[in-house]
């Protein structure tokens, strides 16, 4: 019961090392009220310390209300542990132990404070929000997807191209709590990610009314997009007779030949001011269609369920999360 470790090379005074260890045992309940401690002489002989050092330790513990020393009866634990008090003192003891360990590694108080601040910000992010990575090769779809996912509430969204993940798979794994990908892309990702359990397979869809509107077009259709992948996706959803009237437009393209201009939903909020002015002029004479490409309803319901479950787990067992 009375086994203590004293480090003579520590910067912490010997009496303080012993007092802290006995205090921790008393406050945690390992030494219960009424337990008799060894006499000053017995403790000194056991630990190979001077009687003056042990007397100093006992005096300090008595001042703290941990023990009671009587001339005839001996030294007894006096402190009666309360559950709330115990948790507080255990927490303080854990912090003391951590700080001592860091100081033994020759870190300065200023450096320790920086480490604590960094970790608290990291844990604060974990408690305050869910980090969602969406794997897609369609940067044009970012505004619509972000707007849709924001409905879940308290999420941080990052869109990542699949090509980038092939080179840096650890980046998305370390910076994300949930990773969304289509069925096709998820098959490729499952072999790349260190923690594939974060991966959620979802389905993307185009709004049926958009397809119907395009099929009703009789003139030439220009698709304004940054990536060839978005153009190919849209092109693949059109009936063959209509495909001959569709071509891709770039930011520096001439738009005069197009009768209808198609762009991703929300794309106008991210394009350059020059493009916005061209779009405004085009709308004055012809039609502009925003093509909605987003998560389907079933995927959104499943994702919201998974995220709510993750939040519940974090609130109940925050210490189980891995850094």
Predicted local confidence at residue 89, as pLDDT: 77
Predicted local confidence at residue 230, as pLDDT: 87
Out of 164-173, 174-183, 225-234, 278-287, which region has the weakest mean confidence (pLDDT)?
Answer: 164-173
Predicted local confidence at residue 169, as pLDDT: 62
Predicted local confidence at residue 37, as pLDDT: 92
Predicted local confidence at residue 249, as pLDDT: 83
Q: What is the mean pLDDT of residues 178-202?
A: 80
Predicted local confidence at residue 300, as pLDDT: 92
The answer to whether 161 touches 181, Cβ cutoff 8 Å, is no
Chain-wide mean pLDDT for the chain? 82
CA–CA distance, 277 with 268 (Å, rounded to integer): 10
CATH 3.40.50.2300 applies to domain 128-204+299-320? yes
pTM for the predicted model, two decimal places:
0.53
Long-range contacts of 284-287 (CB under 8 A, 24+ apart): 286/258, 286/259, 286/260, 286/261, 287/259, 287/260, 287/261
Of 270 and 81, which is predicted with more confidence?
270
Region of 232 (left: φ > 0; alpha: ψ -120 to 50; beta: rest) is alpha
> Would you place residue 319 in the very low, low, confident or very high pLDDT band (cuts 50, 70, 90)?
very low
Chain position carrying tokens 């096709």: 184
CB count in 10 Å sphere of residue 303: 20
**Per-residue model confidence as pLDDT tens digits over 11-53:** 788 988 899 899 888 887 888 888 999 999 999 999 999 999 9
Tokens at residue 69, please?
């020393």
Q: For 151-215, where are the alpha helices, taking DSSP H only?
A: 162-167, 169-174, 183-189, 208-215
CA–CA distance, 216 with 116 (Å, rounded to integer): 61
CA–CA distance, 48 with 56 (Å, rounded to integer): 15
CATH class of residue range 14-101: mainly alpha
Q: What is the mean pLDDT of residues 302-306?
A: 90
Q: What is the mean pLDDT of residues 228-234?
A: 87
Of 181 and 129, which is predicted with more confidence?
181
The answer to whether 194 touches 214, Cβ cutoff 8 Å, is no
CATH of 208-291, one of 3.40.50.2300, 1.25.40.10, 3.30.420.280, 3.40.50.300: 3.40.50.300
With vertex at residue 227, the alpha carbon angle to CA 224 and CA 232, rounded to the nearest 5 degrees, is 85
- Highest mean pLDDT: which of 172-176, 177-181, 237-241, 319-323? 177-181
**Domain spans in the chain, listed from the N-terminal domain onward:** 14-101, 128-204+299-320, 208-291
CA–CA distance, 186 with 193 (Å, rounded to integer): 10
C-alpha distances in Å from residue 162, one per residue of 156, 209, 236: 19, 29, 20
Q: What is the mean pLDDT of residues 200-205?
A: 88
| H-helix or E-strand spanning residue 271 | none
**Per-residue model confidence as pLDDT tens digits over 65-121:** 889 988 778 899 987 766 555 677 778 888 888 998 898 899 998 899 888 888 876
**Per-residue model confidence as pLDDT tens digits over 105-164:** 999 988 998 888 888 766 665 566 788 888 888 888 888 888 888 888 878 888 888 777
C-alpha distances in Å from residue 139, one per residue of 56, 126, 228, 267: 69, 26, 11, 9
Predicted local confidence at residue 63, as pLDDT: 85
**Fold match between domain 128-204+299-320 and domain 208-291:** yes
**Nearest alpha-carbon partner for 185 in 175, 174, 177, 193:** 193
> Would you place residue 195 in the very low, low, confident or very high pLDDT band (cuts 50, 70, 90)?
low
- Three-class secondary structure of residue 218 per DSSP: coil
| pLDDT beyond 50 at 320 | no
260-278 exposure pattern, b = at least 16 Cβ within 10 A, e = fewer: bbbbbbbbbeebeeebeeb
Residues 6 or more apart in contact with residue 207 via CB below 8 angstroms: 291, 292, 293, 294
């Amino acid at each position: 019961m009375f086994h203590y470790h004293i480090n003579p090379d520590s910067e912490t005074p010997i009496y303080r090392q012993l007092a802290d260890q006995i205090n921790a045992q008393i406050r945690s309940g390992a030494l219960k009220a009424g337990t008799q401690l060894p006499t000053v002489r017995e403790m000194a002989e056991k630990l190979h310390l001077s009687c003056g050092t042990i007397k100093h330790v006992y005096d300090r513990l008595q001042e703290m209300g941990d023990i009671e020393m009587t001339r005839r009866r001996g030294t007894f634990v006096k402190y009666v542990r309360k559950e709330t008090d115990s948790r507080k003192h255990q927490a303080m003891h854990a912090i003391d132990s951590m700080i001592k360990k860091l100081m033994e590694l020759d870190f300065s108080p200023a450096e320790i404070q920086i480490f604590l601040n960094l970790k608290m910000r990291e844990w604060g992010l974990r408690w305050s929000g869910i980090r969602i990575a969406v794997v897609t090769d369609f940067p044009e779809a970012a505004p619509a997807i972000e707007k849709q996912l924001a409905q879940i509430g308290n999420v941080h969204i990052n869109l990542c191209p699949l090509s980038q993940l092939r080179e840096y798979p650890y980046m998305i794994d370390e910076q994300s709590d949930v990773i969304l990908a289509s069925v096709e892309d998820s098959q490729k990702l499952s072999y790349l990610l260190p923690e594939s359990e974060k991966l959620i397979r979802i389905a993307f869809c185009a709004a049926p009314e958009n397809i119907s509107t395009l099929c009703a077009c009789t003139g030439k259709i220009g698709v304004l997009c940054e990536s060839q992948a978005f153009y190919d996706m849209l092109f693949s959803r059109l009936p063959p007779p209509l495909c001959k009237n569709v071509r891709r437009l770039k930011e520096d393209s001439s738009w005069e030949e197009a009768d209808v201009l198609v762009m991703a939903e929300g794309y106008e909020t991210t394009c350059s001011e020059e493009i916005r002015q061209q779009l405004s002029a085009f709308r004055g004479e012809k039609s502009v269609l925003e093509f909605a490409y987003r998560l389907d309803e079933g995927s959104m319901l499943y994702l919201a369920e998974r995220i709510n479950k993750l939040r519940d787990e974090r609130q109940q067992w925050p210490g189980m999360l891995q850094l």
